[in-house]
Amino acid sequence: MKITLKQLQYFRALAQCRNFGRAAEMVNVTQPALSMQIRDLEAALGVQLVERLPRDVRLTREGRGVLERAERVLAEAMELEASAHHATLGAALNLGMIPTVAPYLLGGMLARLRATDISRDLRLREAQTADLLAALRDGRLDAVVLADLVYSADLHVEPLFRDHFLLAGSQARLEQSAKESEALRPMALRPDQLLLLDEGHCLADQALDLCQLDRRQTRLDLGASSLATLCGLVAQGFGLTFLPETAVPAEAAAAPEMRLRRFDAPEPARELVLARRQTSGGGDWFDDLHTHLCAAGDDLLSRARRIAPQI
């Protein structure tokens, strides 16, 4: 016979009330039902827990020891139930983001998340797409924010928003590009003008695909690992680069000499998504995360379009 939480609850009530009738009222059961559960508990443990006196119930020495343990077990059970109710179970939420998204989207998302659940413990890993997918699939991450993800049967993917690309450079560089082509489209750009992130960054691969170029055709292999580095260079006239709308508010403020130009329609863009493992199951945490990321993205895009209005 196994010990149950119900038996421990009834035993604790009996220890507090020292009367079977009052203990039964406390736990909202009949007296015979409570008495039966106490007898079953004694049988399961193989000890007598209480001395049944005419007008009193007294714990035995063994009963006092069991009560101490029962209190701890019931307290842990209550804490576990409360944690499960808040969908946290005491564990941190491990989120991954690609480097061309994290610096811009994370702040707004965290502010919204903390405003609704200040107890949420979120841990971020910033890495390239291949590393994030490997960590997601082996359980080290719970969810990842990626761009232009190729859908896979083992992943559950929810779209976030479209992040359009702008052309960034100095005033002189952008004026020259306007003279060279009436319509500004990625394929019309001169390869020797482009500065890109180093290999492995999906943003660089997306830019090359849009321009139908090989990396060897680009002007300079900088090995740059951040958009901030590229923006600082193009602001000083060292070429042109692709800048996602989500990065516009931060990078335009950091490099005031940099100018931006929108591509002609259809504007090139990347699709940002939130992904988790199919087997991990959804729930409030995933829906809440998706909602906050979308809201933070909408705010970034609105600010970007005030800086660089759409045509």
pLDDT tens for the chain, 311 residues: list them.
Answer: 688 999 999 999 999 999 999 999 988 999 999 999 999 999 999 999 999 888 889 999 999 999 999 988 888 887 666 555 545 445 678 999 999 899 999 989 888 877 776 456 788 999 989 999 999 998 889 999 999 887 888 999 999 999 999 999 999 988 888 777 667 877 777 777 888 876 545 665 666 666 655 545 554 445 566 888 889 999 999 888 889 999 999 999 999 999 999 988 888 899 999 999 988 876 678 888 999 999 999 999 999 999 999 87
Tell me what pLDDT residue 79 has: 65
Distance separating alpha carbons of residues 148 and 107, to the nearest angstrom:
22
Q: List the one residue out of 177, 134, 170, 137 whose CA is nearest residue 154.
A: 137
Distance separating alpha carbons of residues 21 and 14, to the nearest angstrom:
9
Judged on CB neighbours under 10 Å (0-12, 13-18, 19+), 130 is exposed
Three-class secondary structure of residue 207 per DSSP: helix
According to DSSP, the residues that pair with 122 across neighbouring strands are 93
Judged on CB neighbours under 10 Å (0-12, 13-18, 19+), 123 is exposed
Radius of gyration of the chain, Cα coordinates, nearest whole angstrom: 31
Domains 5-85 and 162-269 are alike in CATH topology: no
Residues 4 and 77: beta-carbon distance below 8 Å = no
Encoded tokens for 238: 């060292």
Report which secondary-structure segment, H or E, holds 52: strand 50-53
255-301, pLDDT tens digit by residue? 999 999 998 888 889 999 999 998 887 667 888 899 999 999 999 99
Beta-carbon contacts of residue 273 (< 8 Å; ≥ 6 apart): 145, 146, 147, 149, 157, 158, 159, 160
CATH architecture of the domain 162-269 equals 3-Layer(aba) Sandwich (3.40)
Distance separating alpha carbons of residues 227 and 196, to the nearest angstrom:
9
User: Please, what's the largest Cα pairwise distance for the chain?
Assistant: 105
The 8-class DSSP code of residue 196 comes to E
Domain residues of the chain, as ranges? 5-85, 93-159+272-291, 162-269
Q: List the one residue out of 96, 61, 59, 90 whose CA is nearest residue 76.
A: 90
According to DSSP, the residues that pair with 159 across neighbouring strands are 273
Distance separating alpha carbons of residues 92 and 108, to the nearest angstrom:
19
pTM for this structure?
0.67
CATH architecture of the domain 93-159+272-291 equals 3-Layer(aba) Sandwich (3.40)
Residues 231 and 186: beta-carbon distance below 8 Å = no
Tell me what pLDDT residue 220 has: 47
Considering the domain 5-85 in this protein, what is its CATH number? Answer: 1.10.10.10
Look over the chain and give the mean of its residue pLDDT values, rounded to a whole number: 84
Chain centroid, CA 245 distance in Å: 21
